[in-house]
Chain A
Amino acid sequence: MDAAGELKTLIAIPAYNEQASIGAVIAELAGHHPLEHVIVVDDGSRDDTSQIAQAAGVRVIRHAINLGVGAAMGTAFKFAARHGYNAMVQLDADGQHRPEYLETLLAGVGTADIVVGSRFAGGGEFRSTWARRGVQRLIAWTVSAYARTRLTDVTSGFRVSGPRAIELFSQHYPVEYLGDTVESIVFATRHGLTVKEVPVLMNERAAGLPSQSILRATLYTGRILLILVLAGFRSSPPTIAEAQRRAKKGKKR
């Protein structure tokens, strides 16, 4: 961040039925970030996620029904914008993301609008079959082309958004499947934001492709490619276009 501005950082944890891990995640986070600047967005959980998070001392926003992780992130960005935060870190509720990398991520905010923590930027490789690796590479290559920078881990949910990204995402955040990761990068770069990666380590978890069978892997690939093509084809959503019109008018006056 530049010398003039100090970062006011919010950590947002989208959570859906994560009562088993949310307590430990917050406890670990407590050593790295003040808990009054941590928000859990409970996306309509039917377990004790909210209660545990609240008891742990963080702020908790509850969706009345399950809207998907993209909508949960959208809510977090709206909250961040309303409360004057100029950096927001997205952290998974399953303990996959390590809080000791918060500083690494936040250090990048001055040089890019979105900083993604990448498992592979340090030279690591997705350990799986050649088909899955190929798919992962194709996706990374396509998103990199949109972002005009080399990205290796585009499905990583461990990332920080700077002030310009918070402003954009509070107006619109992709809510469809995988919108919270891949589509949001394409959407942001198409609106003039910059993205970069920093290498991080993550804890063991079902990472990468959530697909067990060939059929599911094919469906996943097809869906993600459709998202990528559509994300490039679509214009600005009405809320963004409206905001841009208003901003232009304001300048003319």
Chain B
Amino acid sequence: MNPQVLAIVLSVAMFIVVLVLLRFYFLPEKYAVIWLVAAVVSIVLSVFPGILDAVSDFFGISQPINLLFVGGFFVVLLLLMQLSLELARTRDQLRKAIQALAIEAEETRHDTEQ
């Protein structure tokens, strides 16, 4: 079997998974864009592997697959960085909300007791 078929099947499957997650509100638009782009890029590259060869040629990379690995690696790193930032922000917001809520609740309790 041509390995290209496997690549196409996998990238189309990924595209469908993203669409399903989007449709049922599991994935907010904010994150959907990056995953849709990733899915479309992998479909395009698996259908037209010639693009990879041409770009590798341009950068002087002898094995086109290495370009794919390096590119994929950096995209994943960027995604992880974005997740770290998002997590830090969410933790910060959660902490502030709990602190504000705790103070308000105490004040309400204190005022009604008087």
Residues of chain A at the chain B interface (Cβ within 8 Å): 41, 59-65, 67, 71, 74-75, 78-79, 82, 175
Contacts and interface: CB of A to CB of B under 8 A. Distances in A.
Contacts of A62: 102, 105-106
B106 A74 contact: no
Contacts, number: 35
Q: Which interface class (under 10, 10 to 19, 20 to 34, 35 or more) fits B?
A: 10 to 19
A75 B110 contact: no
B98 A65 contact: yes
A238 to B, nearest CB: 10
Q: Which residue, B95, B99, B106, has most C-beta atoms of chain A within 10 A?
A: B99
Interface SS of chain A: helix, strand, loop or mixed?
mixed
Given A71-B95, A175-B95, A63 B102 contact: yes
Nearest to A65: B98
A59 B99 contact: no
A71 B102 CA distance: 12
Contact of B103 (A71, A75, A175): A75
Given A67-B95, A67-B98, A60 B103 contact: no
Contacts of B21: none
A62 B100 CA distance: 11
B20 interface: no
